[in-house]
């Protein structure tokens, strides 16, 4: 076929494929296919960080690979938790059912203890089961702590409660290991006020403070 024949054939094919969409009568209404803030994701640029500010922060705080280790919060190791229990007056070897010691000894796996026979190290991240068991231990052992706090080596002679059963700031400091604030005292006393009875409220308050101190909450 000659060149002229190919050209004629192309014109015929194009003409046959014309469906009338190019006459301007079948175009979609304006705005339905164009992008805008109402039909596309609007990127928030308010959090833009100046690169010089970022460099200055990295020089002061260190790179993320360093700060993630410094500011991270791993779980309390199993043996360390036992030492903590002893330091706050709980008997970690108490085999009485549902005592703090019983929950501690029977909760080895839940608390992420190691299994060296199977070459499994102790977990370093806290889990839901581990956090739950830890709180159960503190809740069960809270009465022991309340009774023994005046004789604790970590803060000898410190009183946890006033004669009117309200919490003392120095006693809370002994429990959590950091200076207690007025908010700590207020929340502890509010827990007692909202409980069914004073002893239950004190037990819950002590358990909550210990759990918060040793689970990074």
What's the pLDDT tens digit per position in 23-69?
556 665 665 555 666 666 565 666 667 788 888 888 887 887 777 66
Token pair, residue 173, equals 């400091």
- Total tally of structural domains belonging to the chain: 1
**pLDDT score recorded for residue 155:** 87
- With respect to residue 140, please indicate whether it lies within any of the assigned structural domains: yes
Domain that holds residue 167: 78-214
**pLDDT score recorded for residue 60:** 82
**pLDDT score recorded for residue 202:** 92
**What global pTM score does this model have?**
0.64
Mean pLDDT over all residues of the chain?
80
- With respect to residue 19, please indicate whether it lies within any of the assigned structural domains: no
- With respect to residue 176, please indicate whether it lies within any of the assigned structural domains: yes
**pLDDT score recorded for residue 126:** 79
- With respect to residue 38, please indicate whether it lies within any of the assigned structural domains: no
- With respect to residue 34, please indicate whether it lies within any of the assigned structural domains: no
Quickly state the pLDDT bin for 138 (edges 50, 70, 90): very high
pLDDT of 1 > 60? The answer is no
- With respect to residue 136, please indicate whether it lies within any of the assigned structural domains: yes
What's the pLDDT tens digit per position in 200-216?
999 999 999 998 888 76
- With respect to residue 32, please indicate whether it lies within any of the assigned structural domains: no
């Amino acid at each position: 076929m000659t060149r002229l024949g190919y050209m004629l054939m192309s014109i015929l094919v194009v003409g046959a494929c014309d469906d009338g969409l190019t006459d301007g009568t079948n175009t979609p209404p304006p705005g339905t296919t164009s992008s805008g803030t109402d039909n596309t994701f609007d990127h928030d640029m308010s959090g833009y960080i100046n690169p010089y500010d970022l460099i200055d922060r990295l020089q002061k705080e260190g790179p993320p690979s360093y700060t993630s280790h410094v500011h991270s919060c791993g779980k309390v190791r199993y043996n360390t938790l036992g030492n903590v229990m002893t330091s706050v007056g709980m008997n970690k070897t108490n085999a009485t059912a549902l005592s703090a010691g019983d929950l501690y000894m029977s909760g080895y796996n839940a608390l992420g203890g190691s299994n060296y026979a199977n070459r499994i190290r102790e977990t370093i991240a806290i889990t839901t089961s581990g956090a739950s068991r830890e709180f159960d231990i503190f809740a069960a052992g809270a009465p022991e702590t309340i009774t023994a706090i005046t004789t604790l080596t970590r803060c000898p002679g410190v009183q946890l409660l006033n004669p009117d059963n309200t919490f003392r700031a120095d006693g809370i400091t002994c429990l959590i290991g950091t200076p207690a604030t007025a908010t700590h005292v207020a929340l502890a006393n509010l827990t007692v006020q909202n409980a069914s009875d004073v002893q239950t409220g004190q037990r819950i308050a002590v358990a909550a403070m210990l759990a918060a101190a040793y689970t990074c909450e």
